[in-house]
């Protein structure tokens, strides 16, 4: 099976978070057919090991996708479908590139990790306990000629407040108003922190995910969820300690806490990518992302040279128009093959 058929077959299998098993089984079968020692691990990840060397290189991508089915199709050299960019295109790039490279001193470990999109990162958290790589490549769309070095951190905030019902003419603030005031305090805190920081990657970025207000005739209640993207330079604990006093009688729960992470670029892995992109006719560039990825989990734990790389335009992530240019996919396979030979 050629690389395009490999990717098209993977994208055809709809695999939103916590429903990845069919896609996992498909990827394991495809890796086995290419000579990998492939299996499903205890977390449910698809794992393929290629080569027998003592040096370990981990290529970690996520096999789950954002929810929302997109009919897979190829049109005008583009593969449309959920996960084509985020991040099955990256996983297929890993498999195709590793299959082209065999080295006696290296063991390539490809991991199709589960539950990245639903913020539990179950697959990556398990992988951290199983491997000790010399180098790690995270499968996230960067574009074939770009290298991603960092991601913001994240914390989710669930806020709930309940109050006895009062008449609207009483002058008492309703639960919904208290909840809005809580959101406004967080927005003001972020705006103050961001003063003088023009680059989005350096900013504290809150977003109001949902708000729900209801009453049963006796109790007035409002809940809301806020996501906060945390820049390098702040810790999750600092953000939570700042926000907690804003509750004003409400209840706060923090979850999905991931620290921000930025990797170094003065290492053999980065140099290999720069050389490979130039050899393919590109002008390499570094980028950082305002989202969060499995790099935030494995990067600090493994402490090895690490980058995120993969074909595709990340602005198409989670969109109804998600698609991957197949020519770019082929170029990314060539670049990654060169990198794996070099490192």
Task: Return the active site residues.
Answer: 64, 116
> CA dist 271 to 268, 285, 306, 333, Å?
5, 12, 12, 17
| SS3 category, 14 | coil
Q: Which residues are registered as beta bridge partners of 160?
A: 223, 251
Which burial class, exposed, middle or buried, applies to 124 when counting CB atoms under 10 A from its CB (0-12, 13-18, 19+)?
A: buried
DSSP conformation class of 108: E
308: nearest Cα among 149, 84, 201: 149
**H-run or E-run covering 99:** helix 88-100
Structure tokens that stand for 56 in this block = 């370990």
Burial 194-211 (b: 16+ CB within 10 A, else e): beeeeeebbbbbbeeeee
Tally of CB atoms within 10 A around 22: 12
286: nearest Cα among 137, 147, 136: 147
Percent composition of the chain: helix, strand, coil (DSSP 3-state, to 5): 35, 30, 35
Do residues 293 and 125 lie in contact, with contact meaning Cβ atoms separated by under 8 Å?
Answer: no
How far is it, in rounded angstroms, from Cα 248 to Cα 102? 61
How far is it, in rounded angstroms, from Cα 222 to Cα 171? 18
């Amino acid at each position: 099976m050629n690389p395009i058929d490999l990717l098209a077959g993977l994208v055809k299998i709809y695999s939103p978070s916590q429903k990845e098993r069919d896609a996992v089984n498909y990827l394991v079968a495809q890796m086995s057919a290419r000579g990998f020692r492939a299996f499903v691990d205890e977390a449910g990840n698809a794992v393929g090991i290629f080569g027998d060397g003592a040096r370990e290189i981990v290529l970690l991508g996520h096999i789950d996708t954002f929810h929302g089915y997109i009919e897979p199709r190829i049109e005008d050299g583009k593969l449309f479908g959920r996960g084509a960019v985020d991040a099955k295109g990256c996983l297929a790039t890993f498999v195709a590139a590793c299959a082209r490279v065999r080295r006696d001193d290296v063991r390539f470990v490809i991991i199709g990790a589960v539950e990245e999109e639903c913020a539990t990162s179950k697959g990556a958290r398990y992988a951290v306990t199983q491997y000790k790589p010399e180098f790690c490549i995270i499968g996230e769309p960067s574009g074939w000629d770009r290298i991603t070095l960092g991601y913001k951190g994240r914390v989710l905030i669930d806020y709930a407040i309940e109050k006895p019902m009062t008449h609207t003419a009483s002058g008492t603030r309703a639960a919904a108003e208290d909840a809005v005031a809580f959101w406004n305090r967080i927005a003001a805190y972020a705006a103050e922190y961001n003063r003088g920081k023009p680059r989005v990657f350096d900013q504290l970025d809150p977003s109001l995910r949902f708000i729900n207000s209801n009453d049963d005739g006796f109790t007035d209640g409002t809940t809301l969820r806020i996501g906060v993207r945390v820049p390098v330079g702040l810790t999750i604990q600092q953000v939570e300690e700042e926000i907690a006093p804003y509750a004003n009688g409400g209840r706060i729960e923090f979850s999905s806490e991931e620290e921000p992470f930025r990797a170094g670029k003065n290492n053999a892995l980065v140099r290999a990518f720069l050389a490979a992109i130039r050899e393919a006719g590109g002008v390499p560039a570094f980028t950082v992302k305002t989202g969060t990825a499995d790099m935030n989990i494995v990067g600090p734990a493994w402490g090895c040279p690490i980058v995120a790389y993969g074909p595709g335009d990340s602005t198409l992530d989670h969109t109804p128009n998600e698609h991957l240019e197949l020519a770019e996919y082929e170029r990314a396979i060539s670049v990654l093959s060169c990198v794996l030979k070099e490192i």
